[in-house]
Amino acid sequence: MTKLPDYLGETYPESVPVIFAPGVVSVKGRLEHGISFAPNTEELAFGILSKDESGKIYYAKKLNENWTEPVVFEPLKDKSVFLPYFSPDGKSLLYAQSKPDTDNTYVTDIWMIEKMNDNWSSPKKIQAPISSMSREANASMTYMGQYIFHQIEIVMVSKIVSPQIYFAQN
């Protein structure tokens, strides 16, 4: 029988969904989103949305058969970041990063940080045409290296037009 991956020591649920990792990932009163496990299932990243609508990515890793406590992902600790996604090879993490703009809006773009020899590099913004004047988020990557992401065009502060899902070559 194939050994099932260890997702933070959680018991695999039956057919009824259950709260994931209560008190560790899922904390009462906190808004978690966008959990992603590395393909080897020995790293995880997830987002937390704050009441001021800024975001943080939390990260945990399996060391010596034990999971570390999820903590703010050090390379992005001073950024407003959301929706992490490990690449299919586990060597990079895609995420959305927001910066305040005029008129109480935010510019949100897709960024990537790569792992080399177990160390994370400096973050890099995915350039145009993927990053644009619209808001991009929810990025993922195919095994062939193409990006799939969500883009929302903002015409006015209170009006969002044509949310779309896009597919682009890396």
Write the pLDDT tens digit of every residue in 116-155: 988 999 999 876 656 655 666 666 666 666 655 455 554 4
DSSP assigned state of 22: B
**Which segment, 41-45, 98-102, 107-111, 140-144, is predicted with the most confidence on average?**
41-45
pLDDT at 108: 76
One-letter identity of residue 5: P
DSSP assigned state of 76: G
pLDDT in tens, 31-70: 898 889 999 999 999 999 887 778 999 999 999 989 999 9
Top-confidence residue, 103 or 160: 103
pLDDT in tens, 150-169: 555 544 444 445 555 444 55
Across 40-54, b (16+ Cβ under 10 Å) vs e yields eebbbbbbbbeeeee
**Burial class of residue 1, CB neighbours in 10 A (0-12, 13-18, 19+):** exposed
At residue 71 the predicted structure's pLDDT band, cuts being 50, 70 and 90, is: very high
- CA-based nearest residue to 48, from 10, 92, 102, 95: 95
C-alpha dihedral sign at 165, 47, 59, 68:
negative
CB 57 within 8 A of CB 45: yes
DSSP state letters, 148-168: EEEEEEEEETTEEEEEEEEEE
| Residue showing tokens 């145009």 | 128
Q: How far is CA 29 from CA 20, 49, 51, in A?
A: 15, 11, 10
By mean pLDDT, which of 3-17, 50-64, 65-79 is the weakest?
3-17
pLDDT at 109: 79
- SS3 (DSSP) at 54: coil
